Structure 1
Amino acid sequence: MRRRLLQSLVPMVIVLAVVAAVPLANYIATSASRTLFLSRSNDADWFATMAESPLQSGDIAGLRELAVRYHELYNTPVFVVDVDRRVIATSRSGVVVTEPDLDNALDSTLAGRLPAEPPALWPWRSGEMVVARPVVNNGRVLGAAVLRVPTERSREQVQRGLLLLLGGLLISIGAVVIGIVRPVTRWVLRPLNDLDNATHQVTRGALDTRVSTDGRAPELRRLGDSFNSMALSLHQARQREREFVADASHQLRTPLTSARIHIEGLSRLSPTARFALSDIDRLGRIVQRLSRLAGSDRPGDADGNEPPLDLAQAVKERLVGWKAVYAADDLELIIGEMVPGGVASELEVDDILDVLLDNAAKYGAPPVEVSVLRDGTEVVLSVRDHGLGLGSRDLKKVGERFWRSAHHREMPGTGLGLAIVRSEAARVGGRVVARPPIGGGLVIEVRVPLIEDYDL
């Protein structure tokens, strides 16, 4: 926007500067021509006075000598003609009075009319200036004294003046652009810049960002009001989302606690109840993670004294149950390479693997392959399916809360599974990577830091 505004204002400034410079350039050339003409007119008047007596007496030797000396001194040819345009005295030979410029000058001078003002001395033109004065005696024209004035030096002066004018013009244009056009452009675009900065703040999660609409143009004021309304709606939606998750998790804690107490009592009578007790504990952890995901609770402090967790071993234990689930649905689950590697003990491997395998079964296609590898300072839990995969734009959005691919929106789900996985990985300094593998499908990698001093 700023570039477009400058592209429209700068040419306007240049045009105005050129319009103002043209009369100045014409003044420089015309002034130099007039100055040269007036200075040589005085000399022509003097020669006309000196030629009056020789034209009457016919003794022109002295007049010829004066013309030659003047020519040598000022490098300006001089000649005198009578009323019949015959050359009586000259400072150089070969004068042709029938040349157009001389003929016109003699017509006016011998007719007793005032000479015309010479044209402007532009540097790209050439030629001499003709200055003629009548030789008069008692009101009768006897002849004319003519000077052919060189103009090279005056044209050089005009050229220097035009160059100075051009330099001043460029400096003026630069000064106007820097001192006026750019500040005006910034002032005009300031509301849009404020709106752009506010939009970036909203995209970074600062939904309480607002723009000022005071003193703005009606169009910008309406745009600012629309932006503020949009940001308020997003802020309220985010608040309702967090309040819903926080309220739901809070409401679930009480029945889960009560259920755990009852199941603890039953666990003394039935060993099967112990598995239910484990699931209750897992539900409790899920509720805590939902609270953290909504931002309503602070993440619990991990016990730094707990030993690291062997990610490969934890995955293999969890896969025992998932193999039965996949087999019941006639899906193939392949257990790939399992390289031991120590990770933080607070990493919820069961929940992460449950989300990845459930997504692969629902949205992908068999076979589904699970592996644990080392990659430098990271341990990588990888789950690959052979489905349609995701496009490049969708791959960048994997892990965003409530986001779902356009191909899967008709299928059941909340769009929170991978967001929880990403949150769990980030809690131990890890990350989630989604990429298309060779041969098609989708690979979800959970990369967490390797604990180097873990004793395998």
Structure 2
Amino acid sequence: MRTRLLPLLIVLMAGVLLALGFPLAASLAASEQQRVVVDRLDDAARFAALAQFVSETSPGTDERSATLGGELASYHDVYGIRAGIFYRNNRSMAAAPEDWVVPYDGEGRRAFNEALLGRRSHNPPQVWPWQTHARLIIASPVVRDGDVVAVVVTDSPTGQLRMRILRGWVLIFAGEAAAMLVAVGAAVRLTGWVLRPVRILDSVTHDIATGRMNSRVAATGGPPELRRLALSFNEMADNVEEALEQQRAFVADASHQLRNPLAALLLRIELLALELPEGNEEIASVRTEGKRLAQVLDDLLDLALAEHTAAELRLTDVGALTAERVASWRPVAEDKGVLLTAECGAVTAWADPVALSSALDAVIDNALKFTPAGEEVTVTVAALPGGETVAVGRRRPRAGPHGRGARPGRRPLLALGPAPERQGVGPRPLHRPGPADGGRRRGGLRSERAARSPRDGDRAP
């Protein structure tokens, strides 16, 4: 989140600085040029005052014209600025250099024509640092007896002006860069201050998700809303941990409470086995069921005492295990009048046998519970392409007395599919068919991960 929020803040701050910097740079350039224009207008006004006394017919004209020409020559030699006074017919009164004439077009001609109307140049085009050949032309009228008799024109190079503008822009750029660095530092601190509670909350959430239930969000800075969120999260985590502790305590207590009756039952089974012939299948099946139930209770106790446990996967014959569970549930099915069959192929997979058998027990129990008498429940085990092993239960009405009973579409009762973030096996949602439409309601447990078929080079986890 920080990598997305920080660039956004930096872009916004850079936009603000640029929005302020460009007008400031343009204002600086205009201010520097205006200073030069005012200076040239003052010079032009001084030359115009001298030119007022120069006349082609008045006595002493040669002396005054020579004085004016000397002033213009000195001005050109010292400052490198071309200057001249021209009559209305473009004839030169005095100029420096002497061969300089009024331009016949462009900005010089525009300024000359404007001065003939009695107006001084006040707004010449802006000169920018990259305009290396630009010149600044200023014109001012020479007025005698209320009439414009001549025009003073100055043509200035802009090298120094452009250099001053460029230096001012460099200072502005340096200030903008310094402000940008300060803004970036402020943005980094701001995003760190805002996102630190979020980062800590994310870390604690990950710890709780991986089994460390005692992790909590420590008191830290940040916006008040995020601090309240951290407090609410800690309260929620306390409630969840308390609920899990109560659940563990209940499971452990139930496991302990069931151990004694189960031990007594197993002892009576052993005593009963002594009275029966050797190799009796029924007593062997009952003994196996008792041992499996004892193993389930042991696993429940281990689960209640453990903080975070993973399934013990081993190479398991899923088909044989499924057939065994179907055989164990067949007496219950016969008592309900439901035909329970199994289609168990030779499928081997990595699985936890106890967890898988418990899942099958839950599914078969639900299937028998919600299947009306006279119908059939079939448990199928098959290996899917890609190496996943699936146990599928489906039900269908049995044929009528004439063999032409209705056979609606087969619906799965159990499908074991992959869920990469968990280990072990459990049933997916069970579909309980309704009496008329073949079943639209869902109930039962949910599968977490399928048993994985062994491949070449696989080893036991």
Alignment partner, residue 338 of structure 1: 346
The alpha carbon displacement at 1:188 in A equals 2.5
Query: What does residue range 314-325 of structure 1 map to in structure 2 within 5 Å?
Result: 314-322=321-329
The alpha carbon displacement at 1:264 in A equals 1.7
Alignment partner, residue 442 of structure 1: none
Alignment partner, residue 258 of structure 1: 264
Structure 2 residue matching 1:208: 3-state secondary structure:
coil
Alignment partner, residue 286 of structure 2: 276
| Worse overlay, 195-204 or 255-264 | 195-204
In structure 2, distance between residues paired with 1:299 and 1:172: 56
Alignment partner, residue 79 of structure 1: 85
Would you say 1:383 and 2:392 are equivalent positions?
yes
In structure 1, distance between residues paired with 2:214 and 2:247: 15
Alignment partner, residue 286 of structure 1: 296
Alignment partner, residue 429 of structure 1: none
In structure 2, distance between residues paired with 1:390 and 1:248: 28
- Given the two structures, how large is their TM-score scaled by the length of structure 2? 0.64
**In 1, are the aligned partners of 2:86 and 2:152 still within 8 Å (CA)?**
yes
Question: Deviations 1:384-417 (Å, cap 9, x if unpaired)?
Answer: 54437899x997899899998598899885x4x8
Would you say 1:58 and 2:66 are equivalent positions?
no
Alignment partner, residue 440 of structure 1: none
Question: Deviations 1:118-163 (Å, cap 9, x if unpaired)?
Answer: 6683539988431548699xxx999766123256656755775686
Would you say 1:229 and 2:253 are equivalent positions?
no
**In 1, are the aligned partners of 2:342 and 2:380 still within 8 Å (CA)?**
yes
Change (3 A) 1:351 1:212: closer
**In 2, are the aligned partners of 1:338 and 1:373 still within 8 Å (CA)?**
no
Structure 2 residue matching 1:268: 3-state secondary structure:
helix
**In 1, are the aligned partners of 2:6 and 2:191 still within 8 Å (CA)?**
yes
Specify the code of the residue in structure 2 equivalent to 1:354: D
Q: CA RMSD in A?
A: 5.7
**In 1, are the aligned partners of 2:379 and 2:393 still within 8 Å (CA)?**
yes
Alignment partner, residue 93 of structure 2: 88
**In 1, are the aligned partners of 2:114 and 2:121 still within 8 Å (CA)?**
no
**In 1, are the aligned partners of 2:311 and 2:352 still within 8 Å (CA)?**
no
Alignment partner, residue 354 of structure 1: 361
Change (3 A) 1:363 1:48: farther
In structure 2, distance between residues paired with 1:179 and 1:189: 15
Question: Deviations 1:196-233 (Å, cap 9, x if unpaired)?
Answer: 33334333443322223455554333322211111110
The match for 1:201 among 200, 207, 220 is 207
Question: Deviations 1:49-77 (Å, cap 9, x if unpaired)?
Answer: 58856775333885679969988994735
The alpha carbon displacement at 1:262 in A equals 2.6
Change (3 A) 1:215 1:407: farther
Specify the code of the residue in structure 2 equivalent to 1:15: V
Would you say 1:14 and 2:15 are equivalent positions?
yes
Structure 1 residue matching 2:271: 3-state secondary structure:
helix
Specify the code of the residue in structure 2 equivalent to 1:27: L
Structure 2 residue matching 1:380: 3-state secondary structure:
strand
Query: What does residue range 305-454 of structure 1 map to in structure 2 within 5 Å?
Result: 310-322=317-329, 329-331=337-339, 333-339=341-347, 341=348, 350-358=357-365, 368-371=378-381, 373=383, 380=389, 382-385=391-394, 386-387=410-411, 415=445, 418=447, 432-433=449-450, 446-447=451-452, 449=454
Structure 1 residue matching 2:199: 3-state secondary structure:
helix
Unaligned ranges ≥5, structure 1: 110-114, 423-431, 434-445
Would you say 1:241 and 2:251 are equivalent positions?
no
Structure 2 residue matching 1:338: 3-state secondary structure:
coil
The alpha carbon displacement at 1:316 in A equals 3.9
Alignment partner, residue 267 of structure 1: 273
The alpha carbon displacement at 1:186 in A equals 2.0
| Worse overlay, 61-70 or 20-29 | 61-70
The alpha carbon displacement at 1:351 in A equals 3.9
Question: Deviations 1:22-44 (Å, cap 9, x if unpaired)?
Answer: 34531233214424653685587
**In 2, are the aligned partners of 1:14 and 1:173 still within 8 Å (CA)?**
no
Change (3 A) 1:131 1:237: same
Question: Deviations 1:221-274 (Å, cap 9, x if unpaired)?
Answer: 332221111111011111111111111112211221222223222221245555
Unaligned ranges ≥5, structure 2: 395-409, 433-439
**In 2, are the aligned partners of 1:373 and 1:381 still within 8 Å (CA)?**
yes
Change (3 A) 1:116 1:400: farther
Change (3 A) 1:383 1:101: same
- Given the two structures, how large is their TM-score scaled by the length of structure 1? 0.65
**In 2, are the aligned partners of 1:132 and 1:145 still within 8 Å (CA)?**
yes
Question: Deviations 1:333-384 (Å, cap 9, x if unpaired)?
Answer: 3515325x487897676445434544566689976442354978x6835335
Change (3 A) 1:87 1:107: farther
Query: What does residue range 78-227 of structure 1 map to in structure 2 within 5 Å?
Result: 78-81=84-87, 88-89=93-94, 91-92=100-101, 101-102=111-112, 105=115, 121-123=126-128, 128-132=136-140, 146-150=152-156, 153=159, 157=163, 160=166, 164=170, 168=174, 171-172=177-178, 174-213=180-219, 217-227=223-233
Structure 2 residue matching 1:206: 3-state secondary structure:
coil
